[in-house]
Structure 1
Amino acid sequence: MEAGRPVLDDLDRKRFHRKQMTWLAIFAIVMIPLFTWLFATRESPADYTFTMIGNMLGHRVGFIIWGAATAILLGFYILRLFVLQSFRDTRARKLLLWSLVFLLLTVLIPSLEGTYLLNRLHDFSAVAFALCLVMSLYLFIRHLHERDEKVYGLSLAMLHTVIGGSLILLLLFGMTGIFQLFFFVSLSVFLAVLNGKLFKGRDREWKGD
């Protein structure tokens, strides 16, 4: 253990570095896009948003299960990256937590009796989820600049691709599930690539800590 490093942080890193946690992370990053694809393609994502598929077309329970599962798996995967990279930025962790709360609100609010206020709250929570998540990841990527400029450059480019691609699809296809599907699938690819770049040869590096 490095001098001056809090014992709790060191224990957290060891816990998240276990083989079981690695397999759980692999499961998470595979299931997020798979769950998203399976839910979105219950109907046509080119014609309906996820909310419409869930609440107008009779898949409300599936919508809530998808949102809850995605929030849990996404939160675990990103938090694991934070811990293993000794990224202790309080703002980033709070933003990550709030993004997951907003995702849950996004899938739960439409199950209530619809009013103008609830509809606007649903729209707000959906946007807030994406903004909080992106800002949390941006703070993490900025932290990586101090460690590896190549990983930083690649990560920033991929995050911009996730955001830019989603916005372009929103402009091209309008408010449909196409841009939502792209966002979650491309986000999963980005996180998987980032994980691979950060922890290539990690076992050797961990032994040297």
Structure 2
Amino acid sequence: MPKRALLKHRPWLLASVAAATAFYFLSNDPIGGIQLMLLKGLGVALLAIYVLRRHLSVDGGILAAVMALSAIGDMAIEVSFIAGGAAFFLAHIAAIALYFRHRRQHPTSSQKLAGAALFIFTPVISYLLTKDAGVTFYAAGLGTMAALAWLSRFPRYRVGVGAVLFVVSDWLIFYRMGQGGQSALADWLVWPLYYSGQFMIATGVVQSLRNDLPLDRD
């Protein structure tokens, strides 16, 4: 993005990173309760604001909805796993719509294979980790989202990889569920993988949409 635009909109990204980082280090802090829940949602909610400020359009609105629903899921899952999962599932549906609108016209064989693998193995591995039908249904939406992100015209090594990081973070959660308790690996990696994925998706899609604008100077 041009230097002036970066300076103008960087505060929203920096604030998002700061909130996400603060939550990571305070997640086991005694403050707990509603304050920690709001802090958790703030990281991705600020990405939604960033998106709207950078690209106020139908596609920007869909992407902002993806981030907003994800932020709701981040908070709701602290109260109810089902409520949080439902919010994330709706976020995946919105993302599916966005990526389908911007699907790559002539994907290579390797891209098609990677997309098919994400579509098939995301729910399969999720089921093997949990043996839970509800989780598998959710993971089918997650896998479809990731597959279409990989097959979209958006930069694969930002948006596609971001979607894959989202999948891996959820697999770690499902692994913890299947183990019936805590996992040090999941405790350390779930949030960084998830937030990094969302950050890559938001900035990657926005950059691509901005590049489509004629004479985009800021």
TM-score w.r.t. structure 2 length? 0.53
Is this contact kept in 1: 2:172–2:186, CA < 8 A? no
Aligned residues of 1:96 and 1:132 also touching (Cα < 8 A): no
Q: Among residues 142, 165, 181, which one is paired with 2:168 in the alignment?
A: 165
Q: Kindly report which structure 2 residues correspond to 1:21-170, keeping only aligned pairs within 5 A, or say none.
A: 23-24=8-9, 26-42=10-26, 50=27, 53=28, 57-60=30-33, 62-70=35-43, 72-80=45-53, 83-84=56-57, 86-87=58-59, 98-106=69-77, 109=79, 122-145=80-103, 151-152=153-154, 154=156, 157-170=160-173
State the 1:77 CA deviation.
3.2
Whether the 8 Å contact between 1:103 and 1:125 is mirrored in structure 2 is no
| Paired amino acid for 1:23 | K
On the 8 A contact 2:16/2:46 being kept in 1, the answer is: yes
1:166 CA displacement:
1.1
Match of 1:13 in 2: none
- 1:15-46: CA deviations, max 9, x gaps? xxxx889834x32233223311222123xxxx
Cα deviation for residue 127 of structure 1 reads 1.6
After superposition, the Cα gap between the structure-2 partners of 1:192 and 1:67, relative to the gap in structure 1 and judged at 3 Å, is same
Question: Which stretch shifts more, 175-184 or 96-105?
Answer: 96-105
Q: Structure 1 pair 130/28, CA: closer, same or farther in 2 (3 Å)?
A: farther
Unmatched 5+ stretches in structure 2: 108-151, 177-182
Contact 2:77–2:84, Cα closer than 8 Å, also in 1? yes
Name the SS of the counterpart of 1:204 in structure 2.
coil
Q: Identity rate of aligned residues, in percent?
A: 7
Q: What SS is found at the alignment partner of 1:83?
A: coil
Do the aligned partners of 1:75 and 1:97 also contact (CA within 8 Å) in 2?
A: yes
User: Alpha-carbon deviations, 1:161-182, whole Å to 9, x = none?
Assistant: 1332213433374763521231
CA contact (8 A) 1:141 1:156 kept: no
TM, length-normalised to structure 1: 0.55
Gaps of at least 5 residues in structure 1 are 1-18, 43-49, 110-121
Higher relative contact order (CA 8 A, sep 6+): 1
